[in-house]
Amino acid sequence: MPDTPVAFPSNCPEEHPFAPYVRALGRGKRGARSLEREEARAALGMILDGRVDPVQTGAFLMLLRVKEETADEIAGFVQAARERARLPEHAIDVELDWPSYAGKRQQPPWYLLSALLLAAHGIRVLMHGCDAHAPNRLFAAQALPALGITVARDWAQVRAALEARRFAYAPLALFSPGLQALLDLRRLFGLRSPVNTFVRHLNPLAAPATLQSLQHPAYAVLHAGAARQLGQPRALVFRGEGGECELRPNADSRCILVEAGSEREITFPRLLPERGATGGAPELAALPALWNGDGASAYGEAAVIGTAAAALLAAGRADAPEAALALARDYWRRRGPWPGERA
């Protein structure tokens, strides 16, 4: 009896246009691969444009997390996000871009004092970050209003804050609500996603210098490579306390300085002799108290000075850790009154 050809149904639905990106990441140990930069750009663009099923979005983000991102992927994601960002109609001048997306759990956010310290001495700083999306962490968007520092609601308020005190905080939802929505998926995943990695590179006002912090040392090379690919003129990459841009004063801090497309390693020496647990909880009252001289914290003061020094190096105000630390200590001695509306 002759073979009868199999009749495949003619009404099978066509594959979704996003499926190839999920398939590239999910084919298993031997078949999976990383995305090329243009693929990453197209994939995130589809997600932000609302052309992807939520199931696909979740699968895509978690497959990326298991595989771990590449510099090509980060650069492509950032490019897609920038192309869709809600930016001001007219340029706003800023010298230092300061991403803040990790939140603090074991220490107060001393880095906020460092940013305000630089601003008090003439450096225009834009800090940007996310709404609270992880439990038991204090985010800048929560801390700043309690310290008397306004969180901007629009770009006009960003411009006004920079003119008034040379420091402004822009929430991610202001210029990329789609990325904020992706970060909010943490409550469903129980995990952070690659968005937490690449969102730090957005630099919405195209500042010539930026800080890049990380929780795990292996990510240093990744962040430096992404900064190079994105053409960032200057970037300082280091392991920050809790993942925030805050130098750990009780440990040597190995940093990568990206400058004009090249990299070099720089080490900030520990400012406190002891390692071990730092203790403490993110109590906000400690920040104005330290600034005003009403509360003593050797750890906090060292964290503020060290972080300010790292930022000065990133901004090109100093060319070596020793010079940056000397300048930061001088700034701290001459810090003036508390910059918030109330102490």
* Co-location of 32 and 153 in the same domain: no
Please tell me the predicted confidence (pLDDT) of residue 296.
84
106 vs 188, residue with greater confidence:
188
Q: How far apart are CA 133 and CA 63, in angstroms?
A: 21
Same domain, 46 and 145: no
CATH of the domain at 264: 3.40.1030.10
Give the H or E element holding residue 236: strand 234-239
Residue 84 near residue 178, CB atoms below 8 Å: yes
- Tell whether 73 is covered by a domain: no
The average confidence (pLDDT) of the chain is 93
Using CA atoms, how far apart are residues 141 and 113, in angstroms rounded to an integer?
A: 14
Q: Stretch 267-291: mean pLDDT, rounded?
A: 82
pLDDT of residue 128: 98
Task: Specify whether 33 is located in the same domain as 178.
Answer: no
Q: Kindly report the backbone phi and psi dihedral angles of residue 10, in degrees, each rounded to the nearest multiple of 5, phi listed first.
A: -90, -5
In a domain, 230, yes or no: yes
Number of CB atoms found within 10 A of residue 191's CB: 12
Distances (CA, A) of 19 to 108, 158, 314, 318: 43, 39, 40, 49
Distance CA 257, CA 224 (A): 8
- pLDDT in the model for residue 1: 54
User: Do 55 and 183 reside in the same domain of the chain?
Assistant: no
In a domain, 228, yes or no: yes
Report pLDDT for 211: 98
Instruction: Render pLDDT for 263-272 as a digit per residue (tens, 0 to 9).
Output: 999 999 999 9
Q: Do 162 and 287 belong to one domain?
A: yes
Rounded to an integer, what distance in angstroms lies between the CA atom of residue 138 and that of residue 304?
Answer: 17
Q: What is the pLDDT of residue 199?
A: 97
Specify whether 126 is located in the same domain as 271.
yes
What's residue 281's pLDDT?
Answer: 66
**Residue 7 to residue 2: CA distance in whole angstroms:** 15
What's the token pair of residue 36? 């090329």
- Are the C-beta atoms of residues 235 and 210 closer than 8 Å to each other? yes
The pLDDT, as a whole number, for residue 342 is 56
One-letter amino acid for residue 201 of the chain: H
Residue 272 lies in a domain: yes
* Mean predicted confidence (pLDDT) in 136-164: 95
- Domain contains 2: no
Mind listing the pLDDT tens digit for each residue in 76-122? 999 999 999 999 999 999 999 999 999 998 899 999 999 999 999 99
Residue 88 lies in a domain: no
pLDDT over 90 percentage in the chain: 83
Domain limits for position 228: 96-333
Same domain membership, residue 306 and residue 175: yes
Same domain, 42 and 100: no
Residue 9: its pLDDT value, please? 67
How far, in Å, CA of 144 to CA of 127, rounded?
A: 11
Q: Is residue 341 part of a domain?
A: no
Residues 187 and 239 in one domain: yes
Pairing of strands 234-239, 253-259: antiparallel
Cα 268 to Cα 8: distance, rounded to the nearest angstrom: 66
Cβ of 269: how many Cβ atoms within 10 Å? 12
What domain count does the chain have?
Answer: 2
- Looking at the fold, whether 228 and 103 belong to one and the same domain comes out as yes
343 pLDDT band, cuts 50/70/90, is very low
CA nearest 113: which of 250, 271, 246?
A: 246
CA gap 316, 266 in Å, rounded: 14
State whether 117 and 63 are in the same domain. no
d(CA 339, CA 129): 20
Does residue 114 contact residue 246 with C-beta atoms inside 8 Å? yes
- The structure's pTM equals 0.93
Same domain assignment for residues 37 and 174: no
Give the residue with greater pLDDT, 232 vs 14: 232
CATH number, domain containing residue 23? 1.20.970.10
Encode burial over 146-155: b for 16+ CB neighbours within 10 A, e otherwise. ebebbbbeeb
Q: What is the pLDDT of residues 205-249, one digit of tens each?
A: 999 999 999 888 888 999 999 999 999 999 999 999 989 999 999
d(Cα 7, Cα 196) in Å, to the nearest integer?
48
Q: Look at residue 326 and tell me if it is in a domain.
A: yes
